[in-house]
Each structure stands twice: as structure tokens, then as C-alpha cells.
Structure 1
Amino acid sequence: MHKTGQDVAEFVAGVAPAKRRRDAETLLAMLREITGLEPEMWNAGIIGFGDYHYRYESGREGDAGAAGFAPRKASTVLYLPDGLGYYADRLDRLGPHRSGVGCLYLTDLTTLDLDVLRDVLAESFARLTGGTYTKRAREGGTE
């Protein structure tokens, strides 16, 4: 992935529907607080905070946002590149969501326990910014 230089505020202002824009604004504030960083746009409409370097056993490597989300039409996608396995007990308490390998799909932040969400995002960011991340999310997120 790469940073695009696109203006984050301009991007968020164009997010539709309005509920998704509201959720994006909530996540921007939360992630600014957690990371102490300003957001940057990454390719494919992803808003990222900080970055981390990944390297897979295959030799493939690159950089990505250490914390990030993408406000999509159907849901907001939160990226947890360290895998969901670390957070299974907390995600049970989060509220309505769907999950993928390293993603949470959220349709309405007002239905979630935002303290749980904040805790998960803070731990994931700390885990990813502590050094080079070498495990794939699909490996289960356990050390």
C-alpha cells in the first residue's frame, strides 16, 4: 500500500451515507487520541494512522497503516493486521459486527461498546508499532 496525499477531511466530507460519515468522524477522533497522530490517506480509500512494516515468510514485504479504517457504503471496515485472535474475548462484548481475517465490519458505531472498541484499537496499534510485524493475520493472532 502507499500513501496518496489526498486530504482526509475532504475525503470524509464526501463519505455517504451520512451514518457512515458520522462513524468516520467518530473513528478519526478516537484514533487521533489513541495514536497521537494525524490521519493520512492510503490507497483504496483507507484512512491510516502511523505505519508499520510487514514481511511475510514468502519474502513479500511492504508498509501499511498501523491503525486504519475505510468507510464503505455497506459498512465501515476496521483493519486489525495483527489478527482478530488476540481480541476474541473482547469482540464478544463489542456489539453487532461481522469479521474477516483481519477486519471488523461495522454498520453503526452507536450500537457498539466504544470502550471495548477503543481498547482493541489501542492494543492493536501498540502491537504493530512495537517493531516489524512478521505474522499474517490469518495465522490466528496468537504468539
Structure 2
Amino acid sequence: MHPTDVDPRDFIAGVENATRRADAERLVEIMRDVTGEEPVMWGPSIIGFGSYHYVYASGREGDAPLAGFSPRKANLVVYLVGGYEERYPEQLARLGPYKPGNACLYLKRLDDVDEEVLRVLVADSCAVVRAEHP
């Protein structure tokens, strides 16, 4: 996965579902505020904020966004640090409805979740990634 030259505003403007499009615009503001970074498209469908370089024990390495999301057809996908369910059980209990993924949250609508809890999850996830990948 690599950053692209596509403008995230253009990508969001092409999201068909009006609610998903509005949620994506709001998530840009939330993530910009939390990370202090500007949005950049990573691949064809992920809007990322900041970046870090990783190296696995196997020697495989690459770059990834520090924080990010994707406004997919069925859900908003918010990417967090792996193991977030074990790290943040109290926050997740207060978040509102979500479906867990390996390193992501699947949300139907932003209006259904507690925005302050989401901000904490994103901020803490970024802090963990920064600490693990200085």
C-alpha cells in the first residue's frame, strides 16, 4: 500500500451514499484534529493521516498510514492498531454499535457512536504505533 496523488476530497465526492459521504467528510475532520496530519489517499480506497515504516521479524517491511479509514459501501472502516479489543475494552463498551475486524472497526453510521470515544481510540492507537515505530 502506498500513498497516491488522488485528492481525498475527490474520492469522498464520488461516494454514492450521501450519509456515508457526509460521515467520511466528518471523519476527515476528526482524524485531522486527532493526528494533526492532512488526509492522503493510500491505495484506491483508504484515506490515511500520517505514516510510519514497519519491519516484521520475517524481514518484510513497508509503510502504512498512522491512522485511516475507508468509506465502503456497507460500512465505514476505521483502522486501529492490532489488538485494539484487548487494549480498549472499556472504551469499546461505550463506543456504540460496531463490528470488530483484525485491526479495524466497522461502523454503520457516525451518528450511532460516541465521537469522543472514537477520538480516544484513534489517538491512543496513534500513540501506540508511534511508540512501536519511532
**Residue 10 (structure 1) aligned with residue 7 (structure 2):** no
- 2:58 is matched with 58
Letter of the 1:126 partner, please give it: A
Query: 1:4 is aligned with what amino acid?
Result: T
Structure 1 stretches of 4+ with a deviation exceeding 2 A read none
- Offset at residue 131 of structure 1 (A): 4.6
Query: Does the 8 A contact of 1:76 with 1:105 survive in 2?
Result: yes
Partner SS for 1:15 = coil
Aligned to 1:29: 29
Aligned amino acid, residue 118 of structure 2: L
Distance 2:109 2:122 in 1: 17
Aligned equivalent of 2:127: 126
Between 124-133 and 94-103, the greater mean CA deviation after superposition: 124-133
Segments of 5+ residues of structure 2 without an aligned counterpart are: none
Aligned length: 133
Name 2:112's counterpart in structure 1: 111
Spell out, residue by residue over 1:98-120, the C-alpha distance to the aligned partner (whole angstroms, 9 max, x if none). 01111100011101111100001
Check whether the contact 1:82–1:128 (CA below 8 A) recurs between aligned residues.
no
CA deviation after TM superposition for structure 1 residue 96, in Å: 0.5
**1:141 equivalent in structure 2:** none
Structure 1 residue 19: deviation in Å? Answer: 1.0
Show the counterpart of 2:102: 101
Instruction: Give yes or no for contact 1:2–1:43 (8 Å, CA) kept in 2.
Output: yes
* Map of 2:77 onto structure 1: 77
* Alpha-carbon shift at residue 129 of structure 1 (Å): 2.2
Q: Is the 8 A contact 2:4 2:41 kept in 1?
A: yes
TM-score by length of 2: 0.93
- Share of identical aligned residues, percent? 51
Amino acid at match of 1:48: G
Distance 1:16 1:121 in 2: 26
Partners of 2:91 and 2:117 within 8 A in 1? yes
Give the drift of 1:130: 3.1
Q: Whole-Å Cα distance in 2 between the matches of residues 99 and 24 of structure 1?
A: 19
RMSD of the alignment, in Å?
1.3
Partner of 1:62: helix, strand, or coil? strand
